[in-house]
Structure 1
Amino acid sequence: MSKSINVRSEIGRLKTVLLHRPGGELENLVPDYLERLLFDDIPYLKAAQAEHDAFAKVFKDNGIEVVYLEDLASEAISDASVREKMIDEFLEEANISGEGNKEALKEYFSQFDNKKLVDKMMSGVRKTELKGHSARSIADMLESDYPFIIDPMPNLYFTRDPFATIGNGVTINHMRTETRNRETLFAKYIFEHHEDYKNSNVPIWYNRNESYSVEGGDELVLSSEVMAIGISQRTDAAAVERIAKRLLWSDSGFKTVLAFDIPKKRAFMHLDTVFTMIDRDKFTIHPEIEGPLTVFSITKGDSEGEIKIEKEEQVLEEILKKYLKQDKVELIRCGGGDLVDAAREQWNDGSNTLAIAPGEVIVYNRNFVTNKILKEHGIIVHEIEGSELVRGRGGPRCMSMPLVREDL
């Protein structure tokens, strides 16, 4: 049965959410290659899975359907020809050199059922797993000290980034780094081949083979008429313009895209690491971005396919009031605006909240200063453990991709 995507706000009551339970990919993190794989530390898998299961339980306890990326991806390749095509594409994007290595990997993958195959693609392949295959080319025979023949994908539990739901469609994203760009292959196969989506005519607002980078942590649906997209360390201005043009000239209902130009640094990796919506008139924000923040409004131009871009001159509260048609807007500052508390809790994703309904959010319990302030503003706060999960530098919004929300 075909299913539809429906996400027309950040705060509408959540009905279906996509997660990825951390797997063997975290056990393929090695200190010497953390930077290459975009990690600062190595989480303990067993504890990370327990924390993630508790995260999933919050959704289930609130009547929210939880679906898993690994399940949808394995179901999407139930047809043998689709499975073979995905393996070929996966190996091509994994930059496997040498025909012998390719053939050995195909033979290795052939022993797995679809679920284990997807798990293995995600976790990566150590060279020791292919011991005994005979070299067939110079490339196969050239040994390096690097321990993997296929890199792991440790960032996958941040399901927010590889694709993003906007209205009734999605962006299948071109990620900034090669390490993460392979993650989007699973979204491609889900929307092209999964029984739930292949006949749903889901609009693709942006695709993974396009040249500019965009990541889902920079894409926020503020209302059924207003999108916010961050120009960040991971998202290019040109990608923002392209998405805006397609959204505004479609029948999606969006009338304005607000482009937030944020500092290009690791602590502010995506817009949602410094700014999230928690109620109709309330937002979390990291105080350090307020000074350098520039906002541009993008609307339809006069001629077909054209867009109009204007720099907004007002402060952020006034911009949000104007476009969200609110009498007042409250910016709740991470750490209460205290320089030390804000910096510490920002590092642990204190501004990265996930709304499951208006004024009801999931947060890490470790950000106690910010959480207390949220409660004082009347927000219902579901606190989860995140000592291991946070080592990947992402919070509850990063770890979730809404597929269906109730309209406000």
Structure 2
Amino acid sequence: MSTSKLTLNVQSEIGKLEAVMLHYPGPEVENMTPKNAQRALYSDILNLSIAQKEYAQLKGVLEKTSLVYKVSDLLEKVLEIPGQRLSLLQKICVTEQVEDYFDYLLELSSSQLTKILIEGLPMQVKTLTDFLKEEYYALQPLYNFYFTRDTSVTIGNTSLVCKMANAVRMRESFIMDAIFNSGLFFNGKITNMYDASQNNPSVKIEGGDVLVAREDVLLIGSGARTSPQAIDLLIQELCREKLSKRHVIVQQLPETPESFIHLDMAFTFLDKNTAMVYKPLILNSNPYKTVHIQIENGKVVKIAPMNNIPAALKKLGMEVEPVICGGRADDWDQEREQWHSGANFLAIAPGKVISYARNINTLEELNKKGFEIVRADDVISGRFDMETSVKCVVTLDGSELPRGGGGPRCMTMPLRRQ
């Protein structure tokens, strides 16, 4: 991690990735039982040691290509500044109703405090109320924090701090806000959706639903984690910038099953003119609307229905050829592979993407389109040089990580792209 400040800049989903923020999954993932897994937004509990090995492949590939910032390192540095530590702790203790622990937390070393804010704080049972709560934690572990995409998004030079759909993830946003607001690491603007919404409960937005298609085009999913009210509020924020023209393409998503949690579970960009799509939702006729919102000189001038995302992009001069998640042959394969994040790709450069190895029909489909399939270990060891490849898919072992409900795009928060 370099010592000079990085200027935030993301104008596409596929420009060469220059800097990214990650959170390596730790004990917080294991501090979960089947009883509380659902509240933690998991459908199953994970084997941490295997999840960490798989995550190490993602981190290893990214370290070959980009500057990697780790959330815990940044948080520890922020907590060393007394004013920053005070304001972050006040926000957390008040919001999570643990004011009794404030003085104790304030006195901890920065590394101990970082650990507790991520891995959880066991409750000290001192009252009957505490005893009857049947809670082990005063501060819940941040089970989902390795999905760094959800809590913030870089749009151009702005960091959008997201307002999470579930209270169990609120602290993740507070931590991200503290990191960006500290002024220690990054140059760029900050839009905090908690502040912008004045904590309006109908406003919720998560980064997996926001795709930067082009400098002037955003794709946003509206479903279980991102509300129409939040999209309207984000558009208001974009209107302040008074740029000549901007476009927002909104795709409605099913509320269930949970594999449609975000738009990037059904649609991601692979190259300048190629996208991975889950066909039943993105291409087939279905009840979920695609809407094109046009902004000019700081005002919404038009809201119109579209057939689908590729048609809306084509109208804006972006031709994308869809590659079918799960392959073309079998609806069952499409459904199974979409469930395991088969449409969730991270581009590290145009035509160079990361995916899970388990989705074999999806990979076969990509191979037919000229993408070379390579193992992450071959990239990390240097046996495969990505620079010399024209188009490739780097595959991660994915038996445990997908069970958390996300893929390579979910686990990465790009800060800067070429």
Unpaired runs of 5+ in structure 2? Answer: 372-391
> For 1:213-252, what aligned pairs fall within 5 Å after superposition?
213-250=204-241
Structure-2 residue corresponding to 1:95: 97
Residue 73 of structure 2 is aligned to residue 52 of structure 1: no
Deviating runs (4+, > 6 A) in structure 1? Answer: none
Instruction: Return the match for 1:377 from 369, 377, 391.
Output: 369
Instruction: Return the match for 1:179 from 168, 180, 185.
Output: 168
Structure-1 residue corresponding to 2:189: 202
Instruction: Return the match for 2:42 from 39, 42, 60.
Output: 39
Cα distance in 1 for residues equivalent to 2:29 and 2:298: 44
Structure-2 residue corresponding to 1:298: 293
Q: TM-score, normalised by structure 2?
A: 0.87
Structure-1 residue corresponding to 2:32: 29
Residue 331 of structure 2 is aligned to residue 329 of structure 1: no
Letter in 2 for 1:110: E
Instruction: Return the match for 1:148 from 137, 140, 143.
Output: 137
- 1:272 is displaced (CA, Å) by 0.4
Deviations 1:381-403 (A, max 9, x none): 00011211111100000000000
- 1:308 is displaced (CA, Å) by 2.9
Per the alignment, in what secondary structure is the counterpart of residue 154 of structure 1? coil
Structure-2 residue corresponding to 1:71: 73
- 1:148 is displaced (CA, Å) by 1.8
Structure-2 residue corresponding to 1:4: 7
Q: 1:205 to 1:307 in 2, by over 3 A?
A: farther
Cα distance in 1 for residues equivalent to 2:222 and 2:158: 21
Q: Is the 8 A contact 1:275 1:286 kept in 2?
A: yes
Structure-2 residue corresponding to 1:362: 354
Cα distance in 2 for residues equivalent to 1:194 and 1:180: 23
Instruction: Return the match for 1:160 from 135, 149, 156.
Output: 149
Letter in 2 for 1:195: L
- 1:201 is displaced (CA, Å) by 4.7
Q: Is the 8 A contact 1:172 1:208 kept in 2?
A: no
- 1:66 is displaced (CA, Å) by 0.8
Instruction: Return the match for 2:403 from 385, 388, 391.
Output: 391
Residue 5 of structure 2 is aligned to residue 13 of structure 1: no
Cα distance in 2 for residues equivalent to 1:252 and 1:50: 45
Residue 267 of structure 2 is aligned to residue 267 of structure 1: no
Q: 1:70 to 1:82 in 2, by over 3 A?
A: same
Deviations 1:179-200 (A, max 9, x none): 1122101111111114123xx3
- 1:280 is displaced (CA, Å) by 1.2
- 1:139 is displaced (CA, Å) by 4.1
Letter in 1 for 2:174: L
Residue 111 of structure 2 is aligned to residue 115 of structure 1: yes
Structure-1 residue corresponding to 2:417: 405
Q: 1:256 to 1:362 in 2, by over 3 A?
A: same
- 1:91 is displaced (CA, Å) by 1.6
Seq. identity, %: 31
Q: 1:78 to 1:14 in 2, by over 3 A?
A: same
After superposition, the CA RMSD in angstroms is 2.0
Cα distance in 1 for residues equivalent to 2:274 and 2:240: 29
Instruction: Return the match for 1:320 from 306, 313, 318.
Output: 313
Unpaired runs of 5+ in structure 1? Answer: none
Cα distance in 1 for residues equivalent to 2:159 and 2:51: 28
Q: Is the 8 A contact 2:54 2:398 kept in 1?
A: yes
Q: TM-score, normalised by structure 1?
A: 0.89
Q: Is the 8 A contact 2:247 2:292 kept in 1?
A: yes
- 1:115 is displaced (CA, Å) by 2.7
Per the alignment, in what secondary structure is the counterpart of residue 327 of structure 2? helix
Q: Is the 8 A contact 1:362 1:381 kept in 2?
A: yes
- 1:372 is displaced (CA, Å) by 1.5
Letter in 2 for 1:342: Q
Cα distance in 2 for residues equivalent to 1:238 and 1:247: 14
Q: Is the 8 A contact 2:9 2:156 kept in 1?
A: yes
Q: Is the 8 A contact 1:6 1:168 kept in 2?
A: yes
Instruction: Return the match for 2:122 from 123, 126, 132.
Output: 126
Per the alignment, in what secondary structure is the counterpart of residue 411 of structure 2? coil
Q: Is the 8 A contact 1:87 1:106 kept in 2?
A: no
Per the alignment, in what secondary structure is the counterpart of residue 12 of structure 2? coil
Per the alignment, in what secondary structure is the counterpart of residue 143 of structure 1? helix
- 1:95 is displaced (CA, Å) by 2.4
Q: Is the 8 A contact 1:260 1:294 kept in 2?
A: yes
